Amino acid sequence: MRIDAIILARGGSKGIPKKNIINFCGKPLVFWTIKQCLASKKISNVWVSSDSDEILEISKNYGAQVIKRPHKISGDTDSSESAWIHAINFIESESVNRKIKIDYVVAPQVTSPIREAVDFDDSIEQIINDNSDSLLSVTSIEDFFIWKKLDGKNPESVNYNYKDRKPRQQIDKRYVENGSFYIFKPFVLKENNNRLGGAISFFIMDKHKMFQIDDVEDIKLSSLIMKGFELDYL
């Protein structure tokens, strides 16, 4: 079975300039996702897709294979799906003479570095055992209450009735899509233009692994978590 990791790492970023290669725990941010994928026992190949020559060179130096992503699918409004489809087509076209086809794609997010190689191994084992077509990483949030603010009106509770607040033990368990990674069969992506489809599995991760780097404040918070749980080993 061939399982390829395809890491998307655009050069542009509005919130944090060159976000995918900022210094995080002493290394470029993209390093941690490459390292985790390479350390996986079940991932066959590790690819980085980017429009940035600098990111591609850094990724190559850390052991990843690279794919130059066209600028026309590298903008702020371009979907990750378009980049994954481009990468899959590139990989399969390069492999046509060897008649190799990808069985599953592991699609990790660079901005979610708080994870371990075993997370990939366990989730791959799960999607195979479940005979699922796609999988998303999630975190349990059974005591997480969501509100929305309405213009000119009282705020409104979304996922519970604040007038009938139940004890924690009686609250149904819910899960938040944490964005750390996805796994899917290529046909799911190509037929639906969506990373999720067919039979879908959840992979439940520890709460401390749900944090993402979206703004400058997240860098310090995530680095403290990374070091606190001793996940910053090289």
Q: What are the pLDDT digits (tens) for 179-203?
A: 999 999 999 999 999 999 999 999 9
As a whole number of angstroms, the distance between CA 69 and CA 201 comes to 29
CATH of domain 3-137+176-228: 3.90.550.10
**Banded model confidence at residue 97, pLDDT cuts 50, 70, 90:** low
Q: Taking CA 157 as the corner, what is the angle to CA 151 and CA 161, rounded to the nearest 5 degrees?
A: 145
Which residues touch 226 (CB under 8 Å, ≥6 apart)?
24, 25, 113, 114, 232
State yes or no: pLDDT of 167 exceeds 90. Answer: no
The model carries a pTM of: 0.92
- The question of whether 165 is a catalytic residue gets the answer yes
Dihedrals phi, psi of 66, to nearest 5 degrees: -125, 150
Please give the Cα distance from 217 to 227 (Å, whole number). 16
Question: 105 and 6 in contact (C-beta within 8 Å)?
Answer: yes
Q: Amino acid identity, residue 181?
A: F
Q: Which of 165, 168, 174, 195 is catalytic?
A: 165
Indicate whether 132 pLDDT > 90: yes
In 3D space, the residue among 70, 126, 80, 95 whose CA is nearest the CA of residue 2 turns out to be 95
- Give the chain's end-to-end CA distance (angstroms, integer): 29
d(Cα 157, Cα 54) in Å, to the nearest integer?
45
pLDDT level of residue 218 (50, 70, 90 thresholds): very high
More confident residue, 183 or 73: 183
